[in-house]
Amino acid sequence: MTTRVLLVDDDSAVREALGQTLELADLEAVLAGSYIEAKDHIVADFPGVIVSDIRMPGKDGFALLDYAHGVDPDLPVVLLTGEGDVPTAVRGMASGAFDFLEKPCAPADLLTVVEKALKTRALVLENRSLKAQVEAGDAAARLLRGTSALSEKMRADARKVARTMADVLITGEPGVGTAKMAEVVHLLSAQSRGPFIKIAGASTDVAALDATLREAENGSLFIDEVAGLDARTQFALLERLERPDAPRVLAGTYQDLAARAETGQFNPDLYYRLDAARIHIPPLRDRREDIPTLFRHYVAIACEQAALPVPDIPQDVTQKLIAQDWPGNARALMNTAMRYAMGLGEIDADDDPGLAEQVAQFERSVIVEALTRHNGNATATAESLKLPRKTFYDKLARHGLKPEEFRG
C-alpha cells in the first residue's frame, strides 16, 4: 500500500513548497487547498497522515481534524499554526492532533514529524490487519511473519499440512521456531478444538509420554527435539500412535532423522510415521528480508510487556541486523530485540564481510530462491540457473542446502 501525506493549505505557494519537500524525501504528497477538497481523500485505513494548516477560509484545520477522527480515530493529523500562536497549538494537541509545527517550518522539522507520524500509522494499520486475520482464522499469517518467498512457502505448507490428519515432522536449525510452527498447524487444523500440549523429547520417558498423550487427546502433541526420546520411549510412542484415540503428533527436530534411522539411532518405523508430512523452516540467513519485520514485531512485544513506548529503529540499525547471519535464528533475534527495546545495548554488526563472503552470500540466496520457486526440484533448479549438474550439486554441498527441504 502506497504511503501518502495529505497536505492541506489554502496558500498555494506554501502548499507547493511543502509538497516538494515531501516528494524530495520520496513521499507521495496529495495536495488540497481547503477542507472541502481534503475531505474527499479521507477514508478509513487511509495509508498515511494529514498535515493541515489551521487557519483556512471556511472550515478550518480543527474542523478537518474532527472530520478525520470521525472517519478514523487513529489517523495522525499534524497541524500547522502561525508563528508564536502557542494557545492554538495547545488547543490542537488537546483536540487529538498528533503534533504541530509553526509556520514557516523548516523542511527537516516537517520531515521529522511526518516520518514519526507515518511510523505510528504503519503500526496501527499492521495491527488492524493482524486483527482481521485473527478474526478470519488465519493463524499462519498472524504467527508466521515475513514477506520473503520462503516465508510465504512456510505459510502455504502450514495451511496444506493442517488440512490433513497425518502426523508432521517439522525440521530446522535450533532457534527457528519449530514450536511456533507446530502451534500454527494445530490452530489451522480440525484438532484446534482440542488442547495443544508441548513436551521435550530429552526429558520424556514412557510414563510421562502416556500422561501427556491422555492430556492431548482430541488435540495435538508437540514433541520438541523428538530425536531426544530414548529407544524405549520411541517404541512406546509408535505403539500408542496406532490407537484410535491418539492425538496428532507434531515432532520438531534439527537433526537428520533419516540418517539416524539408517544407523539405528532412531526407530525407522517411527521416523516414517512422523515423516508422513514435513515442513522445513529455513534459517534467517536464507530469508534476510524477513529480519526487519520480525525485529520490529519482537521490539513491539517487548515494549508492550514492559509498558514502554516503541522506539524508532533507524535504517543503520536495520542494515546491521540484515548483515548478521543469526546462528541462533529467531530466538537470538528476539533476545536482541528485547535488549534494544529496554535500551540495554547497541546493535553491533559482525565484521564487515569481504568480497568473497559477499559473493558467497549472494550466490546462496539466488540458489535458495530458485529451489523455492521450483519446489525443491533439483533438475529444474539447475536448468533455471544454467548450471551443469555436478557444479550445481557442488554448490549445494558448499552452502549446506538440501533440495528435499524445499519441497512442499
pLDDT single digits (tens) 235-284: 999 999 999 889 999 999 999 999 999 999 999 999 999 999 999 999 99
What is the CATH number for 39? 3.40.50.2300
Residue with cell 515432522: 169
Quick one: average pLDDT of 345-365?
A: 64
Task: Say if residue 81 is in the same domain as residue 157.
Answer: no
Number of domains in the chain: 4
- Predicted structure pTM score: 0.57
Give pLDDT, residue 242. 92
Question: Is residue 156 in a domain?
Answer: yes
Residue 44 has pLDDT above 70, yes or no: yes
What is the CATH number for 395? 1.10.10
Percentage with pLDDT > 90 across the chain:
50
Pick the range with the lowest mean pLDDT from 120-134, 198-212, 234-248, 299-313: 120-134
Mean pLDDT of the chain: 87
Task: Say if residue 294 is in the same domain as residue 369.
Answer: no
Task: Say if residue 127 is in the same domain as residue 150.
Answer: no
Quick one: average pLDDT of 77-105?
A: 82
Question: Is residue 348 in a domain?
Answer: no
Question: Is residue 161 in a domain?
Answer: yes
Contact 227, 255 (CB under 8 A): yes
Look at residues 133, 162, 186 and tell me which one is the last residue of a structural domain: 133
Task: Say if residue 223 is in the same domain as residue 240.
Answer: yes
Give pLDDT, residue 34. 93
Q: How many CB atoms lie within 10 A of CB 159?
A: 17
Question: What confidence tier does 232 reach under pLDDT thresholds 50, 70, 90?
Answer: very high
CA–CA separation, 308 and 274 (whole Å): 43
Question: What confidence tier does 406 reach under pLDDT thresholds 50, 70, 90?
Answer: confident
Say whether the peptide bond before residue 104 is cis (omega within 30 degrees of 0).
yes
Task: Say if residue 143 is in the same domain as residue 269.
Answer: yes
What is the CATH number for 182? 3.40.50.300
Residue 119 has pLDDT above 70, yes or no: yes
Question: Is residue 347 in a domain?
Answer: no
Quick one: average pLDDT of 342-356?
A: 64
Give pLDDT, residue 210. 94
Question: Is residue 121 in a domain?
Answer: yes
Give pLDDT, residue 375. 84
Quick one: average pLDDT of 181-189?
A: 90
Task: Say if residue 129 is in the same domain as residue 143.
Answer: no
Give pLDDT, residue 271. 96
Residue 131 has pLDDT above 50, yes or no: yes
Of 40, 27, 197, 242, the closest CA to residue 117 belongs to 27
Task: Say if residue 265 is in the same domain as residue 374.
Answer: no
DSSP secondary structure string, 224-283? ETGGGS-HHHHHHHHHHTTSTTPPEEEEEESS-HHHHHHTTSS-HHHHHHHTTEEEE---
Give pLDDT, residue 351. 46
197 three-class SS = strand
Task: Say if residue 324 is in the same domain as residue 388.
Answer: no
Task: Say if residue 151 is in the same domain as residue 197.
Answer: yes
Residue 285: DSSP 8-state: G
CA–CA separation, 208 and 203 (whole Å): 9
Give pLDDT, residue 310. 86
213-216, Cβ contacts within 8 angstroms, sequence gap of 24 or more:
213/240, 213/246, 213/247, 216/247
Task: Say if residue 166 is in the same domain as residue 105.
Answer: no
Give pLDDT, residue 356. 63
Q: For residue 148, what are the domain limits?
A: 139-282
222 three-class SS = strand
Residue 177 has pLDDT above 70, yes or no: yes
Burial annotation 22-61 (CB, 10 A radius, 16+ → b, else e) = beeeebebbbbbebeebbebbeeebebbbbbbbbbeeebb
Quick one: average pLDDT of 21-43?
A: 92
Give pLDDT, residue 31. 94
Position 198: which residue type? K
Question: Is residue 172 in a domain?
Answer: yes
Residue with cell 520457486: 373
Look at residues 282, 313, 333 and tell me which one is the last residue of a structural domain: 282
Task: Say if residue 152 is in the same domain as residue 273.
Answer: yes
Pick the range with the lowest mean pLDDT from 190-199, 207-216, 356-365: 356-365
Give pLDDT, residue 188. 86
Q: Which residues on adjacent β-strands are paired with residue 28?
A: 4
Question: What confidence tier does 113 reach under pLDDT thresholds 50, 70, 90?
Answer: very high
Look at residues 102, 117, 133 and tell me which one is the last residue of a structural domain: 133
Task: Say if residue 129 is in the same domain as residue 152.
Answer: no
Question: Is residue 20 in a domain?
Answer: yes
Question: Is residue 349 in a domain?
Answer: no
Quick one: CA dihedral 202, 203, 206, 208, positive or negative?
negative
Question: What confidence tier does 306 reach under pLDDT thresholds 50, 70, 90?
Answer: confident
